[in-house]
């Protein structure tokens, strides 16, 4: 039963159908007849490419005259953080709108192909396969969560589709051996380190407990924090895990309570963080213990769920080097289009905008128009162009990609909750 | 549904066929000894205070109480129909969602202020139970009754379908955001005895599950309805010939079980604050495990199984010195070990001997 239901939960039937019928799913509106192409069979197609697709010339995306440039998006629309996922998708849509309003690329308009990565590795794999099977997908923005992005990574690497994640923070998302992997968000290698320094130096705590939600993201940042805190000279009295979706944390909290730590650090998402903040108030030994979460929980949803238990808790966030004028212009368009302030949903809308911006600017550099009026985008050239991005002015600062694909600017900020709102107390950009 | 554990009929034959469980039992015994040795050595080295174990026991009993409320419904339906209603966890979730809206309504009517709070809570509870009962009865009518004559696996698959249908209906209608129960001041606190804290919500869950178990046993054993249920369980045709309305009795069984699940959903909402579309899946799975552990079809068995499971999950990680994220492994290991030694569950299955 468990297996059956789980399978059914994770793989929506239409997606399976698409994965099986590669050709049938390849977006009909952009099917060109491509008379100008040299005979396709003459060129040996790459083994991962579906054979005999008229749109596919090995390693080149052909957008027929009048067609649109399709950018894939993997967003966590369901799963543990649906609101931040929606926010990231909407940020990307604004970026596409802006690019189209500015004339697109050589007169070709852009289109966002949004898929639900569900913040999970399984679903990331499904989305990755879907994009890899679609020869019209030029590049991908996403995924939202680290686990989801680990699902995308090997598939997109094989399919030679570059991606830029606005919000996946696990250090291993980018690596030496992955030339298609890029991100705008800052790595947890930085966040875990700064959080440890904040707790050790600023709060002066020496004895902490660390919890995580067993996700790639949560466990990753929790381990980095633990190691950094121990290196600073502090003591980590417990390292306890839970699972994404758990709602009762009283047993592990009771265990942690025995050693009476000064702070509990939690790597994970908003709902679990809020429930821990709430339930630790019931546990002996944790009466005076503070709580600290990470960027996955830095949301309105955390405040709403934890209620009064959120007061005085800490939250860190991997902030961009936000450009106030650009952000306010972005917010105006966002509110006009979606009728909600982006901060109410999640923190990563600006990074999402910049991820798309980075992709579009790179496409502009490599796109060529052929004699028949088709737009040609060479995949390898695009992968290189994204990695060579330098000095690009985005909302989150000046974006420059380093050799392994870390493109973001900014630093880590730490907030506390005061009267039901976040207030910065430490870190990057604090005045 | 006589309350005599059956050890004959096809079951007895099967246990004869499994004459080599000697080996399984030997392995099981070794595992149990290893676990006990580990538990003793860890408890000695960790030196937890006694109050710690009491706190964990309280956590476990409350968790077990939640499982019990769901497991009772599982076992009730199984006892009558020999059918595993896998959608039962989802019925609980629907009850929790309905309770959330009941609470919203009560709050907007001002029923949660001051001394009237009990009224508001009762309203939320009744809303949850009512909607869950309706859902359960509808499920029976639409998804199970048409398949009553079919082989036993068919309604099982139908139940899995119903489970997914309910999950995704709630997902589509109410979205993915968790619904947050705001605990009224009346039940926000708890009993404190030194370092041991028992939240009122937990206490309510535990006491309610005990009361409801007693009530169910009483209904099944001592009322006309119960007699009719047992008659239907024994032989549907004969019961019909004796003037029992079989359809009605089965519908009432679902009504009873689903109302219990609805109550569980609302109480879980108060205890753990959040309910969302997939909140019923894991408790449903655990409750099913608990029902099998205690002996499926056996009402006190479901209660005992649920409490054993809850306590094992809560105390296990500390006692064995393993990280808390592995508590599900403990739960299912307990199931396997119990089934090695008592294949019919802790208190024995209560399966009415069907006429061939």
- A401 in contact with B, Cβ within 8 Å: no
The reply to whether B325 falls in a domain is no
Q: Give yes or no for residue B3 having a pLDDT over 70.
A: no
Distance to chain B for A63, nearest Cα, Å: 35
Instruction: Tell me what the mean pLDDT of segment B234-243 comes to.
Output: 88
Q: Give the three-state DSSP class for A61.
A: strand
The residues, any chain, with a CB within 8 Å of residue A405's CB and separated by 6 or more, are A174, A178, A179, A181, A182, A183, A387
Distance to chain A for B22, nearest Cα, Å: 28
The reply to whether B353 falls in a domain is no
Give chain B's domain count: 1
Least confident of A28-37, A153-162, B198-207, B259-268: A28-37
The reply to whether B20 falls in a domain is no
B146: containing domain: 64-310
Nearest by CB to A5, from B178, B281, B324: name it.
B281
Least confident of A167-181, A282-296, A397-411, B14-28: B14-28
- A419 in contact with B, Cβ within 8 Å: no
Residue A166: exposed, middle, or buried by beta-carbon count in 10 A (0-12, 13-18, 19+)?
A: buried
Tokens coding B169: 């209906």
Q: Give yes or no for residue B41 having a pLDDT over 90.
A: no
- A268 in contact with B, Cβ within 8 Å: no
Among residues of chain A, what percentage have pLDDT more than 90?
Answer: 77
The reply to whether B21 falls in a domain is no
- Classify residue A224 by its DSSP letter: H
What is the C-alpha separation between B160 and A166, in angstroms, rounded?
37
* Confidence class for position B340, pLDDT limits 50, 70, 90: confident
- A10 in contact with B, Cβ within 8 Å: no
The reply to whether B13 falls in a domain is no
What is the C-alpha separation between B195 and A305, in angstroms, rounded?
26
What pTM value is reported for the model? 0.85
Q: Give yes or no for residue B326 having a pLDDT over 70.
A: yes
Q: Give yes or no for residue B144 having a pLDDT over 70.
A: yes
Q: Give yes or no for residue A303 having a pLDDT over 90.
A: yes
- B182 in contact with A, Cβ within 8 Å: yes
Measured CA distances, A96 to A69, A93, A105, A174, A332 (Å): 11, 5, 11, 25, 15
Instruction: Tell me what the mean pLDDT of segment A189-218 comes to.
Output: 95
Instruction: Tell me what the mean pLDDT of segment A184-213 comes to.
Output: 95
Q: What is the mean pLDDT of chain A?
A: 87
For an interface test with B, the pick among A8, A243, A248 (most B C-beta atoms closer than 10 Å) comes out as A248
Least confident of A364-373, B133-142, B333-342: B333-342
What is the C-alpha separation between A262 and A288, in angstroms, rounded?
7
Q: What is the mean pLDDT of chain B?
A: 85
The helix (H) or strand (E) run that includes residue A8 is helix A2-10
Q: Give yes or no for residue A14 having a pLDDT over 60.
A: no
Q: Which residue has the higher pLDDT, B352 or A182?
A: A182
Instruction: Tell me what the mean pLDDT of segment A331-352 comes to.
Output: 94
What is the C-alpha separation between B103 and B122, in angstroms, rounded?
9
The reply to whether B190 falls in a domain is yes
For an interface test with B, the pick among A87, A243, A251 (most B C-beta atoms closer than 10 Å) comes out as A251
Q: Give yes or no for residue B253 having a pLDDT over 80.
A: yes
Distance to chain A for B200, nearest Cα, Å: 11
A26-76 pLDDT per residue, tens:
444 444 444 444 444 444 444 454 444 444 567 899 999 889 999 999 999
Domains in chain A and their CATH numbers?
57-186+323-400 (3.40.50.2300), 188-319+412-427 (3.40.50.2300)
A67 φ, ψ to 5°?
-85, 180
Residue B40: exposed, middle, or buried by beta-carbon count in 10 A (0-12, 13-18, 19+)?
A: exposed
pLDDT of residue A274: 95
* Confidence class for position A122, pLDDT limits 50, 70, 90: very high
The reply to whether B318 falls in a domain is no
Q: How many residues are listed for chain A in this entry?
A: 431
pLDDT of residue A309: 92
For an interface test with B, the pick among A7, A13, A76, A284 (most B C-beta atoms closer than 10 Å) comes out as A284
B120 φ, ψ to 5°?
-60, -45
Residue A423: exposed, middle, or buried by beta-carbon count in 10 A (0-12, 13-18, 19+)?
A: exposed
The reply to whether B324 falls in a domain is no
- A287 in contact with B, Cβ within 8 Å: no
pLDDT of residue A7: 43
* Confidence class for position B352, pLDDT limits 50, 70, 90: low
Residue bearing tokens 């595992």: B31
A82-99 pLDDT per residue, tens:
899 999 999 999 999 999
CA neighbor of A348 nearest in space, from A76, A75, A81, A91: A91
DSSP string across A132-162: HT-TTEEEEEE-SSHHHHHHHHHHHHHHT--
Q: Give the three-state DSSP class for A176.
A: coil
B174-220 pLDDT per residue, tens:
888 889 988 887 787 888 887 888 888 899 899 988 998 899 889 98
């Amino acid at each position: 039963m468990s297996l059956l239901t789980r399978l059914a939960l994770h793989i929506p039937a239409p997606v399976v159908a698409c994965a099986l019928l590669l050709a049938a799913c390849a977006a009909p509106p952009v099917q060109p007849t491509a008379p100008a192409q040299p005979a396709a069979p003459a060129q040996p197609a790459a083994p991962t490419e579906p054979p005999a697709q008229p749109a596919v010339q090995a390693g080149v995306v052909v957008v027929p005259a009048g067609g649109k440039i399709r950018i894939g998006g993997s967003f966590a629309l369901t799963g543990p953080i649906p609101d931040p996922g929606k926010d990231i998708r909407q940020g990307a849509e604004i970026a596409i709108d802006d690019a189209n309003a500015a004339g697109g690329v050589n007169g070709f308009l852009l289109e966002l192909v949004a898929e639900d990565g569900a913040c999970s590795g399984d679903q990331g794999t499904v989305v990755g396969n879907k994009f890899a099977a679609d020869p019209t997908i030029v590049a991908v923005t996403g995924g939202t969560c680290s686990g989801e992005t680990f699902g995308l990574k090997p598939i997109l690497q094989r399919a030679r589709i570059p991606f830029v994640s606005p919000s996946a923070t696990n250090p291993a998302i980018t690596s030496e051996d992955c030339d298609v992997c890029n991100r705008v968000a800052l790595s947890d290698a930085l966040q875990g380190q700064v959080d440890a320094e904040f707790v050790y130096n600023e709060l002066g705590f020496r004895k902490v407990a660390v919890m995580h939600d067993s996700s790639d993201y949560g466990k990753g940042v929790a381990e980095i924090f633990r190691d950094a805190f121990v290196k600073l000279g502090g003591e980590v009295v417990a390292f306890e895990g839970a699972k994404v979706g758990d709602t009762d944390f009283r047993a592990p909290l009771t265990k942690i309570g025995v050693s009476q730590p000064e702070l509990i650090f939690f790597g994970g998402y908003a709902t679990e963080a809020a429930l821990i903040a709430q339930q630790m108030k019931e546990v002996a030994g944790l009466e005076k213990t503070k709580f600290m979460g990470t960027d996955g929980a830095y949301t309105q949803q955390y405040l709403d769920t934890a209620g009064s238990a959120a007061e005085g808790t800490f939250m860190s966030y991997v902030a961009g080097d936000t450009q106030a004028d650009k952000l306010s212009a972005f917010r105006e368009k966002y509110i006009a289009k979606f009728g909600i302030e982006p901060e109410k949903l999640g923190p990563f809308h600006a990074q999402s905008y910049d991820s798309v911006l980075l992709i579009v600017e790179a496409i502009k550099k490599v796109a060529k128009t052929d004699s028949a009026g088709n737009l040609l985008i060479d995949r390898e050239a695009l992968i290189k162009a994204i990695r060579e991005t330098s000095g690009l002015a985005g909302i989150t600062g000046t974006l420059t990609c380093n050799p392994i694909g870390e493109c973001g600017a900014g630093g880590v900020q730490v907030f506390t909750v005061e009267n039901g709102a976040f207030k910065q107390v430490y870190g990057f950009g604090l005045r | 549904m006589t309350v005599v554990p059956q050890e004959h009929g096809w079951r007895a034959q099967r246990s004869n066929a499994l004459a080599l469980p000697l080996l399984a039992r030997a392995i099981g015994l070794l595992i149990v000894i290893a676990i006990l040795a580990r538990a003793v050595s860890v408890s000695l080295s960790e030196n937890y205070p006694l109050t710690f174990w009491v706190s964990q026991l309280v956590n476990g009993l409350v968790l077990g109480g939640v499982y019990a409320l769901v497991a009772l419904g599982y076992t009730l339906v199984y006892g009558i129909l020999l059918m595993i209603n896998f959608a039962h966890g989802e019925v609980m979730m629907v009850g929790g969602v309905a309770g959330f809206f009941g609470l919203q309504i009560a709050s907007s009517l001002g029923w949660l202020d001051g001394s009237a709070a009990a009224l508001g809570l009762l309203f939320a509870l009744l809303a949850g139970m009512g909607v869950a009962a309706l859902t359960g009865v509808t499920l029976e009518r639409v998804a199970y009754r048409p398949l009553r004559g079919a082989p036993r696996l068919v309604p099982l698959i139908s139940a899995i379908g119903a489970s997914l249908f309910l999950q995704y209906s709630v997902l589509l209608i109410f979205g993915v955001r968790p619904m947050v129960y705001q605990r009224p001041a009346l039940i926000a606190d708890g009993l404190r005895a030194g370092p041991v804290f028992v939240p009122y919500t937990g206490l309510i869950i535990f006491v309610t599950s005990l009361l409801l178990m007693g009530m169910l046993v009483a209904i099944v054993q001592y009322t006309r309805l119960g007699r009719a249920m047992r008659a239907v369980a024994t032989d549907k045709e004969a019961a019909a010939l004796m003037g029992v309305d079989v359809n009605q009795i089965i519908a009432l069984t679902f009504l009873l079980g689903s109302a219990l699940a609805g109550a569980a959903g609302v109480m879980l909402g108060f205890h753990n604050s959040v309910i969302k579309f997939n909140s019923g899946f894991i408790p449903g799975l655990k409750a099913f495990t608990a029902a099998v552990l205690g002996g499926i079809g056996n009402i006190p068995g479901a209660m005992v199984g649920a409490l054993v499971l809850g306590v094992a999950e809560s105390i296990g990680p500390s006692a064995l010195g393993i990280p808390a994220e592995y508590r599900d492994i403990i739960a299912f290991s307990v199931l396997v070990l119990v089934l090695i030694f008592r294949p019919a569950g802790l208190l024995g299955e209560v399966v009415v001997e069907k006429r061939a």
